[in-house]
Chain A
Amino acid sequence: MYALFAFVAGLVFGIGLLFSQMASPAKVLGFLDLAGRWDPSLAFVMVGAVCVAVIGFVLAGRRPTTLLGTPFFLPIAGEIDMRLVGGGLIFGIGWGLGGFCPGPGLVALGAGQAKAFVFVAAMLAGMLAFEGIEAARARSVTRAAQTDAPASE
């Protein structure tokens, strides 16, 4: 049941992306091109989405459990650090190059677009690279902690 609701949420989300034409990179790039012939549509998509979503989050915040009786997994506010800003910068550059962000990439893939397939494959490779870098960092931190341990005694 839980997975079924997740499927419907993904489906409705994708239909919204298609209807608003946000699954089309040319439309997104038209928004990002402030100095050219500017298409403000993306801003209207954001306004429409936030206006409706805010109702859902307010209602969710008033409940002890979800409508399915399961616990909430909504993130608690963290700090604003270099990872957040650096990650946003890298993502923004990639977004500006291709006009794709993750959701529209997957929707365009479902529409049978070969270029979307290539984008999604590269995106997955990028995410795997992140996991690899993080795992290597965790190992080196553990090693450093182990070599530091005798000195700190």
Chain B
Amino acid sequence: MAIDWTAFTPGSALAGGAIIGFAAAMFALFNGRIAGVSGIVGGLLRPASHDTAWRAAFIAGLIAAPIVYVAFAQLPPIIIDGGYPVLVLAGLLVGIGTRYGAGCTSGHGVCGLSRASPRSLVATVVFMAAGFATVFVTRHAIGG
């Protein structure tokens, strides 16, 4: 393992993380809910969809974030190296997996770990391990 010191951004990572944590804390205190993106989106796709307004509002906030961001500062780069077929496959797996696993990086990772949930800790360890393994295979085993 070699750390990429040119790419590593500990300051903005910690500060950005704190902003994310603040949003999750606000959502818990005002809305009484877990800021889990996959659960919020997935709830809109249920056959008997309920709580449509706040779910749609949270998603609209996420989508509006870059539009508000550029009004005050230059948008940090968004680099997507994967091709379209890879992104379609990735999207399908993320969609199915987060619904079966009842959470993603925000719900299990940020909120679940903050609440010391054993379920979320297990989920986070599993999806991180799967992520590490997948990148190892695509970049080093077959892609290297």
Contact = CB atoms under 8 A, between A and B. Distances in A.
A46 interface: yes
B92 A49 contact: no
Contact of B94 (A4, A57, A79, A91): A91
B97 to A, nearest CB: 3
Interface residues of B, number: 112
Interface in B13-33: 13-33
A7 B78 CA distance: 23
Given A17-B65, A91-B98, A9 B58 contact: yes
A110 B67 contact: yes
A136 interface: no
Contact of B99 (A16, A25, A53, A130): A130
Contacts of A19: 12, 15-16, 19, 76
Nearest to B122: A80
A128 B16 CA distance: 31
Interface string A1-44: 01111111111111111111111111101101111111111101
